[in-house]
Amino acid sequence: MLMSSDGGLNGSGNWVEAGRTFIEWDVTRSRDGTWQYSYHLGHPRGKTSHLVLEASRSFGAADIMNARGDFRSVKIGRQRVRSGNP
């Protein structure tokens, strides 16, 4: 687990400064030999604006299972380095 309270997760604004923000993950191997990754992002107040995770080029919408949270949509694409939010 990475947490803002111990310096393992950095950011700015209310989502980090107002309290404990964290990301935790679990990796398990399925019976068919594939790997499953489960992520949990927690923050004290406000809504999640974005979360960027790196994945393989072959990753697609069919690879996302049980997505839930305070977000409106899931977008899969390439993240380019530029100023501002993704």
Residue 48: pLDDT band with limits 50, 70, 90:
confident
pLDDT value of residue 85 = 61
15 and 44 Cβ atoms separated by less than 8 Å: yes
Cα gap 79→7, rounded to integer Å = 25
Residue 6 binned pLDDT confidence (cut-offs 50, 70, 90):
confident
Radius of gyration of the chain (CA): 15
pTM, full prediction? 0.70
Calpha distance 25→37 (Å, rounded): 7
Grouping H, G, I as helix, E, B as strand and the rest as coil, residue 22 is: strand
